[in-house]
């Protein structure tokens, strides 16, 4: 019912001018709901070039297939016309300028490419017009010249957008224009605007009557009155909008639209409020995430890995809620690092230093993926553990040396352990090294006491051995070889008990010498006894002189053997013998 309840009157003129053929083309079609008006200007100079006609027909056919007033519809029709000219069976590529107007009898929209033009008049005044897609138009805009100056500019036909362009084709599409009763739409080609300026056209339609043809005749009269040397093809179309379509359901539709708009507005408000709350909550969560992330870093730098773990867990939960993949990956790496360090810290606190050392090495591997933030702390802890283990190594080495009785070297190791433990504030190691030193000093004092007692006992034994050896020497010197042997035997026993092989060997030599001397003395003693027996036998025979001689031999041996009792005994026997000899001599003298 749109077309029947609206009045659109269209008139046009199209002439070849001074050219042999007319390469302009105008066509329109008015359907029930939509109408389409197309004007085209062929840009080919060949007499058989139908670029304008092909372009117009292509657009009209595309419109009839899918009538619409939407921008994308106009753009698709113009692109279809551009493709049709590119694919046309012609020696030269076909080219054309075009302007399309489409209306739903209430509103209008236009699209164009090239230098065909449109002007919209309302109440005798110009309200809408197109501008050529040419280099000349751009130059005049930069120089702030009027549009009419373009008709004489040498770059007026240097187009950068036209049908048949191929790649880079980009038509211009207007917004939707609300039509009013009495509006006049005009479309015209190059042959008109090159010879008539905009003011002249405005004057024609300022006084336009109800008949489009009358206005067209006035335009043509003005054009021909110029008597140009060369008049290009010219085409001019005028569309008089006597009455636009008024929708009888418009008020109801407006109410429905208002209701829908209110509902949509309420929904949008709810959505916006929800979105605002969501964004606010997300912003708060992002701020909290940033704060917890910063706190985590600061706690790690302060070596407070317990609190760092708590902050990391909260930050990771927020990152998962916010679906921040990169932050989740980073926080996961930090969490693994913190867990590895806390595991090592527990082992260190339990004094399991060997396992703690391995755990800290593992934590350092984790630190590679967390910006190496804990490397300094881990290296410090590894250095401390190395010192702690060195303290235990020194103590163990000291224990080994002390067990071997090397107290001085053991003391040196214990002191090294104590110094290292004190320097690293290792109280446990310091206590163990102090205990080890106390045990060392106690053991050394005990060993020294035992050694002193052993030395005293040895000295006493040695003194006894020396005394016995001296007694033996004295007896030996006195010729009491049996006593000397007894003393020497007891001295030898003591020297052997002490392990003094040197003195023991000397005593053995003395024993051997004493034995030899004893044997010689025994032999001399037997010889002396033999002299005494011989002396007694001579005395019994009366041979007192021989007896005295034997007694003197025996006396000399006993004196050599230092047997004073025997010497005294022999002296007594000699005295008796000499007395008898004197009595015998005295009796002999008396007998004479």
Indicate the burial class of 295 (C-beta count within 10 angstroms; 0-12, 13-18, 19 or more): middle
pLDDT at 478: 67
Indicate the burial class of 280 (C-beta count within 10 angstroms; 0-12, 13-18, 19 or more): exposed
CB 375 within 8 A of CB 382: no
Q: What is the pLDDT of residues 178-205, one digit of tens each?
A: 999 999 999 999 999 889 988 899 999 9
Percent of the chain with pLDDT strictly greater than 70: 93
Mean local confidence (pLDDT), 404-408: 83
Q: Which fold has domain 7-247?
A: Phosphatase 2c; domain 1 (3.60.40)
pLDDT at 45: 67
pLDDT at 34: 97
Q: What is the pLDDT of residues 106-155, one digit of tens each?
A: 999 999 999 999 999 999 899 999 988 887 676 766 666 555 555 566 67
* Per-residue pLDDT at 48 exceeds 60: no
Q: Is the pTM here over 0.75, yes or no?
A: no
Q: What is the pLDDT of residues 474-525, one digit of tens each?
A: 776 666 667 777 777 887 777 777 777 777 778 778 777 767 777 777 777 8
156 to 139, 368, 501: CA distances (angstroms): 10, 68, 138
| Share of the chain residues as helix, strand and coil, in percent rounded to the nearest 5 | 65, 10, 25
* Per-residue pLDDT at 250 exceeds 60: yes
Q: What is the pLDDT of residues 531-586, one digit of tens each?
A: 888 888 887 887 878 888 888 888 888 887 777 788 888 888 888 888 877 777 77
Distance CA 586, CA 264 (A): 190
How many C-beta atoms surround the C-beta of residue 163 within 10 A?
A: 32
Domain residue spans in the chain? 7-247, 249-344, 517-592
Radius of gyration of the chain (CA): 73
Mean local confidence (pLDDT), 371-397: 86
Q: What is the pLDDT of residues 284-343, one digit of tens each?
A: 888 888 999 899 999 988 889 899 899 999 999 988 988 888 889 988 999 998 999 999
Report the run of H or E that residue 505 belongs to, with start and end. helix 501-541
Q: Which residue has the higher pLDDT, 550 or 74?
A: 74
């Amino acid at each position: 019912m749109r077309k029947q309840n609206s009045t659109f009157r269209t008139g046009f003129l199209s002439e070849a001018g001074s050219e042999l053929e007319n390469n302009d083309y105008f066509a329109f079609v008015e359907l029930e709901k939509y109408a389409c008006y197309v004007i085209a200007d062929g840009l080919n100079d060949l007499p058989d070039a139908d670029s304008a006609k092909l372009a117009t027909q292509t657009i009209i056919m595309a419109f009839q297939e899918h009538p619409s007033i939407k921008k994308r519809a106009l753009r698709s029709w113009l692109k279809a016309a551009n493709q049709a000219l590119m694919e046309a069976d012609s020696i030269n590529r076909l080219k054309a300028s075009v302007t399309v107007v489409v209306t739903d009898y209430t509103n209008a929209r236009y699209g164009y490419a090239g230098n065909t033009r449109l002007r919209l008049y309302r109440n005798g005044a110009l309200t809408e017009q197109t501008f050529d897609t040419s280099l000349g138009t751009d130059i005049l805009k930069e120089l702030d010249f009027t549009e009419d100056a373009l008709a004489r500019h040498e770059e007026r036909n240097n187009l950068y957008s036209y049908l048949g362009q191929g790649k880079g084709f980009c038509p211009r599409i207007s917004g939707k224009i609300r039509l009013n009763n009495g509006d006049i739409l005009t479309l015209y080609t190059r042959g008109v605007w090159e010879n008539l300026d905009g003011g002249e056209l405005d004057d024609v339609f300022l006084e336009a009557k109800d008949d489009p043809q009358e206005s067209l005749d006035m335009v043509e009269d003005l054009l021909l009155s110029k008597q140009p040397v060369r008049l290009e093809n010219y085409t001019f179309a005028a569309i008089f909008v006597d009455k636009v379509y008024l929708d009888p359901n418009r008020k109801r539709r407006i109410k429905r639209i208002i209701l829908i708009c209110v509902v949509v507005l309420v929904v949008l408000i709810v959505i916006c409020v929800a979105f605002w709350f969501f964004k606010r909550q997300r912003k708060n969560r992002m701020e909290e995430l940033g704060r917890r992330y910063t706190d985590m870093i600061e706690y790690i730098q302060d070596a407070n890995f317990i609190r760092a773990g708590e902050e990391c867990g909260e930050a990771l939960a927020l990152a998962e809620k916010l679906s921040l993949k990169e932050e989740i990956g980073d926080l996961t790496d930090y969490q693994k690092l913190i867990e590895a360090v806390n595991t090592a810290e527990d082992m260190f606190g339990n004094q399991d230093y060997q396992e703690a050392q391995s755990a800290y090495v593992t934590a350092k591997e984790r630190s590679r993926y967390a910006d190496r933030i804990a490397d300094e702390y881990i290296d410090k802890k590894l250095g401390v553990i190395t010192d702690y283990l060195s303290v235990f190594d020194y103590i163990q080495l000291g224990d080994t040396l002390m067990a071997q009785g090397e107290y001085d070297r053991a003391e040196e190791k214990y002191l090294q352990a104590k110094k290292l433990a004190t320097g690293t504030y290792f109280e446990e190691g310091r206590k163990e090294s102090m205990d080890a030193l106390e045990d060392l000093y106690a053991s050394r004092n005990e060993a020294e006491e035992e050694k002193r007692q052993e030395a005293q006992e040895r000295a006493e034994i040695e003194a006894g051995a020396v005394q016995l050896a001296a007694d033996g020497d004295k007896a030996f010197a006195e010729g009491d070889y049996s006593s000397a042997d007894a003393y020497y035997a007891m001295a030898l026993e003591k020297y052997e008990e002490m392990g003094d092989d040197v003195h023991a060997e000397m005593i053995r030599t003395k024993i051997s010498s004493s034995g030899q001397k004893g044997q010689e003395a025994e032999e001399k003693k037997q010889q002396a006894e033999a002299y005494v027996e011989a002396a007694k036998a001579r005395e019994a025979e009366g041979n007192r002189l021989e007896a005295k001689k034997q007694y003197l031999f025996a006396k000399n041996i006993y004196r050599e053997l230092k047997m004073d009792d025997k010497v005294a005994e022999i002296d007594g026997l000699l005295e008796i013998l000499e007395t008898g000899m004197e009595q015998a001599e005295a009796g002999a003298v008396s007998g004479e």
